[in-house]
Amino acid sequence: MLPIKKAEPPNRPLSLIAFASLWLLSPFATGALLGSSRRARGLAARYYPLLLALGFGGLALVVAGAFVLPRPDSLLALGLGGPLSGLSFWARRADGEDDGPGGGDGSDPEPPPPGGDWEQIVRQFEFHVTRHDRPAAPRRERTPERRSPAVV
């Protein structure tokens, strides 16, 4: 009879590294979730001071959990502070507009061209387009002639 092997517990350092990686990405995930929803951005704009207070509170929890609190409390502080700290990097726009998908009315002026001569740029562009749109001249298929080797 073959001896039955007991199941070994999962590799602790590997699971700890995976958990730490997920925790380190949690502020970015919070920011991405908030930034991806127009409704969430509107809510964040209405309660902006509260949003920043929560974000900086999350940063304080991360620092306290890493350096001050004892073991069970530090894990709770780090677990809550990580995602909350993602709220601390939001800023209001000066003009109050939203750059969301489909945003912008196209009223931004185009930068002036180098030299400031639009007509010249348009002529050069049209010349370039017409030059490359011409059909290529058909090439005659030629096989290279065999040359005899040079005798020295």
30 and 83 Cβ atoms separated by less than 8 Å: yes
Q: What percent of the chain has pLDDT over 90?
A: 20
What pLDDT is recorded for position 122? 83
What does the block give as tokens for 13?
């350092």
What pLDDT is recorded for position 61? 93
What does the block give as tokens for 133?
């749109």
What pLDDT is recorded for position 45? 87
Q: Phi and psi (nearest 5°) for 79?
A: -65, -35
How close are the terminal C-alpha atoms of the chain, in Å? 84
Contacts of 87 (CB under 8 A, 6+ apart): 30, 31, 34, 51, 52, 54, 55, 58
Q: Is pTM beyond 0.75 here? A: no
Cα separation, 41 vs 100, whole angstroms: 9
Query: Which residues in the chain land under pLDDT 70?
Result: 1-12, 93-116, 133-146, 150-152
Query: Which conformational region is residue 101 in: left (phi greater than 0), alpha (psi within -120 to 50 degrees), or beta?
Result: beta
Distances (CA, A) of 40 to 43, 57, 67: 5, 20, 33
Q: Tens digits of per-residue pLDDT, 70-113?
A: 988 988 998 899 999 988 887 776 665 555 555 555 566 666 66
